Structure 1
Amino acid sequence: MDPLIVLVTGDPSMISQCRQARTGTFRLNGRVIALALGLLLCPMSTLRAATETLPTLGTDAESIAQYDGTVEDAGRPLRWNMNYMKYDQAPNIKMFDALVQRGVTHIVVTIGLNHSLVEVESGMLDSDLQKIAVQLYQWQRANPQAQIIVRPFHEMNGDWYPWGFKNEHNGNRVTQFNPAWKHVRSVMRSRFPGLPFMWCANVNQGNHFMSFYPGNDQVEYLGFDGYNHSTSQGGWQNMEKIFHDSMVALRQTPGIDPRKPLVIGETATTEPNAAAAAAGHSKTEWFGRSYGNMGWWLHSEAPKFGVTTVLYFNYPDLYTGKPLPPSAYKNDYLIHDPKLPSADESRIAFRASVRDLP
């Protein structure tokens, strides 16, 4: 099968900024597992300057070096990219061009709609969505060696984005989601026929997916986002704890085609806070090969559920973009923070977990 599209996202306060993913690709039982490092892009003025100086592609060299220094086959060329934009922004075509020159074959555009589901369905954003679709279509036609895919409404079953319907956030109701999805798809596909869409829910938010699954004819890729936020949200959680129940429920839900490729669109672990560290938790543990952790999960569980792609979000501090002192609580998803004594251990554990994937 063709390689899948990989998507990443993060905090709603950052959605107006672009991010991208650098990935290495590994084959697992005949399927492709892509381990990607999500990298926060600079503000647009800085981004334009940075894209002039490849190979950083708008990211900082340190983050690129983390990838190269962590994954054994670091010389593998880029294959995947994720780019963020708001509904009223133009796609970063210059960035797309630079990525294709680097050998990227799949570019994902995550579109922040910043409106309630009713407002989206009402057509308030149609003109902007049509403009985006036209620009993406024109670029796609000129670059058939790459594939564009969009992921709207990501983590829709939460209450932290304007379109989220959990607890009727922002006035949204679950019954409004499918009509809003179908509307956006229809509008964008009217200008970009065949544009692939990814439906990507957040894990463990009830797991009743058919109430907000728009239909097999409306979705090309299934996805889940899930993180270990140390003990700030639900306690320390390994990969098994984060994803298992939701993946079982999804694959067993009548009406959702079990042949649909399943992507882990976002996952990462923070540094442990004081309580988690006292309990013996660490990034080294989370990346490890013991039961429940990342290395074990990639080898043992991902194939069972038909997971084809896993994306690791490599980003220093989701909320401020600035590194925190080691004494502070770390909302830090980097594979290894070079400022911490545990940096080498984290890097070695990550590398060991992905090194021997078939």
Structure 2
Amino acid sequence: MSITVLKSAFKLRSICRLQRIRGHMMSSHAGSEVLSEKVGNAGVITLNRPKALNALNLPMIRHIYPQLKKWDQDSEIDLVIIKGAGGKAFCAGGDIRAVTDAGKVGDPLAQDFFREEYILNNVIGTYTKPYVALIDGITMGGGVGLSVHGRFRVATEKTLFAMPETAIGLFPDVGGGYFLPRLQGRLGLFLALTGFRLRGRDVLRAGVATHFVESEKIGALEKDLVDLKSPSMSDVAKVLDSYQHQSALDADKPFALEQHMETINRLFDAGSVEGIIKNLKKDGSPFAKKQVETLAKMSPTSMKLTLKQLEHGASMTLQEVLVMEYRLTQACMKGQDFYEGVRAVLIDKDHSPKWKPGTLEEISEQSVEDGFKSLGEHDLKL
């Protein structure tokens, strides 16, 4: 068989595969994957892909965005509640595999997904009515974007929060560059680089959640919220506060990272990823050694992009951060590590990615800076 015929066959297979992806992404029943209803004086959104841990896809984004815009103008809606179905997850992330397949063949889905997701994140961050995210279960990536920028985030003992993107050749996006550097000390940078998992009440203690309520009380909390008549932000806060006061579970346990915060603040206070790793190695404590092992598994390029993302984001508005992060997504789509990370972690699950470049020292400052460059007319517009 000639090379030309082989190339044509490969191209045809790629096109057919992409058509299947887009068919799934665009024809999936967003109406059943996202349930929107008026309950009392509230608009309630339920992410309804429990088998996929409510992972966010483009049709879901395209359902939620206009619904939030509509409810913001609806005089009969006083607040919005968003939650996940199935009992395991609020939202475990975005539909990264579909984005990966699209990016490989240059399909616009790789732009559309991030652009529309970030526009939705901005709507949540600027919402005029009380917005309550019930993050009862796994909350990662895209699920963080649907919750963390809203006014109220209610964690339970089942909440598992993480931003593990450096392990798949990406960076903590969905506005991670905005909220992470605003956490206490160097905690946000630590979470961003290591993908460390916070559980239950620790999600509140870290500053990611605004409240902690025991999972068994969430149903009653939701009922009391939807029964509120024309509530102000403080009215909603009072209801959430009262449920938090009734939730004593794990109240006597210290923050999981409490004994390490001084170490984190000291060792992660460096101007480079190399400096952080040098600090950790020099410290030599069991905790520091564990972080060195963790960082050794992450994409070197992702870690460098993440450090600069958080440095810039610390003094930016949410809107400026989202524009910056959109630029970074497109740089990652053009690189190699994102596809390799998704392969290693989500597809083959061998957890042995071959990063390129493979070391921090091989990455030039210029190549990092290039990821932050304006996309001109293709920049995200909010």
TM-score after normalising by structure 2: 0.27
The structure with the greater share of residues assigned to strand is 1
Return the index of the structure with the highest Cα Rg: 2
Which protein has the bigger helix share? 2
> Higher relative CO (CA 8 A, sep ≥ 6), structure 1 or 2?
1
